[in-house]
Amino acid sequence: MWRRHWKLFLMSSLIIIFSGCCCTPGPGKLKRVEYGYASYYGPGFNGKLTASGEVFNMYDYTAAHRYYPFGTLVEVTNLENGRKVVVRINDRGPYKAGRIIDLSYAAAKKLGMIGKGVVKVKLRVIKWGKRR
């Protein structure tokens, strides 16, 4: 009996082992809505390359997120004043504990958070970007 089924056993074992090896979770496993803190970045990074290979422009409506696919469109709501902005994910970060998104200067300005630097936000995915 064992001789007849060893190939099936081996194949199913390999499928189980390799099924969890993806680096980035697919959109089906990612949260469509998140709550946390947002920060922003601007002049010191303007003109430098982002993780997506794009040149950072602090006047574009872009953002950095740890794991949302590049190109994902996210509506960001400032929970302190209700202002909203839609940004495109083109970078990775933030890497400071408790923060879930790093916004461009333009996006932060539209949300009214320049003076504070860090605010509580709600993220809502509008459209998933292509997985990379």
What residue ranges define each of the domains in the chain, with the CATH number in brackets?
29-127 (2.40.40.10)
Least confident of 3-7, 75-79, 115-119: 3-7
Asked whether the whole model's pTM tops 0.85, one would answer no
- Residue 29's pLDDT is 62
Q: Identify whether the C-beta of residue 92 lies closer than 8 Å to the C-beta of residue 51.
A: yes
DSSP states along the chain: -HHHHHHHHHHHHHHHHHTT--SS--GGGS-SEEEEEEEEE-TTTTTSBPTTSPBP-TTSSEEE-SSSPTT-EEEEEETTT--EEEEEEEE----STTEEEEEEHHHHHHHT-TTTS-EEEEEEEEE-----
Tokens standing for 15? 């499928």
Percent of the chain with pLDDT over 90: 72
- Residue 31's pLDDT is 82
Interatomic CA distance for residues 11 and 38, integer angstroms: 45
Interatomic CA distance for residues 21 and 110, integer angstroms: 39
What average pLDDT does this structure show over 15-36? Answer: 57
What average pLDDT does this structure show over 114-124? Answer: 96
Considering the chain, what is the average pLDDT of its residues?
Answer: 84
Confidence tier at 30 by pLDDT (50, 70, 90): confident
- Residue 131's pLDDT is 64
